Amino acid sequence: MSETAEFPLPADVTEEERETAKREIGRHTTVTEAKERVVRFEGELIGQTGPIWHFQYTRMYKLPKGYLVAAHDLREGIRVAFADDPAKLSASFDQEAVREFIDDELRFRKVLPDEHRAEQPVS
């Protein structure tokens, strides 16, 4: 995989949050650059959500060996979760609404199958 993905950092990011993003993303893929407002790494953006619960935003990525979700939690700072299967990405979030947003975005982007799709009639 030769694509470079970006995880945006909030305008009021702290040095601790920046280091957390860099360290936690770097546990699962190669970080190519970490600047004041962005962490760049080997991967491909596959989805994103806006504000939900106390998460300002989440981003979902396909990595060379798995999948990653990175989020800015307004209370806890930067959160990063890894899974070998995109269907498992949302499992690391306790809040049901957050899990639903992540799964819905992955279905919308066709990363996960649409479970609500009507069955095709058999001919």
51 or 81: whose pLDDT is higher? 81
pLDDT-derived band at 29 (thresholds 50, 70, 90) equals very high
117 found inside a domain: no
Residue 120 clears pLDDT 80, i.e. is over it:
no
88 found inside a domain: yes
Q: Mean pLDDT, the chain, as a whole number? A: 89
Q: Is residue 37 within 8 Å of 91, Cβ to Cβ?
A: no
Structural domain of 61: 4-108
Q: Is residue 47 within 8 Å of 108, Cβ to Cβ?
A: yes
67 found inside a domain: yes
Residues 6+ apart with CB under 8 A from 4: 32, 40, 41, 42, 43
Q: What is the mean pLDDT of residues 19-36?
A: 96
121 found inside a domain: no
If one counts the domains in the chain, the total is: 1
122 found inside a domain: no
115 found inside a domain: no
Q: What is the mean pLDDT of residues 82-99?
A: 92
Phi, psi angle pair for 74, to nearest 5°: -60, -25
On whether the pTM is more than 0.85, the answer is yes
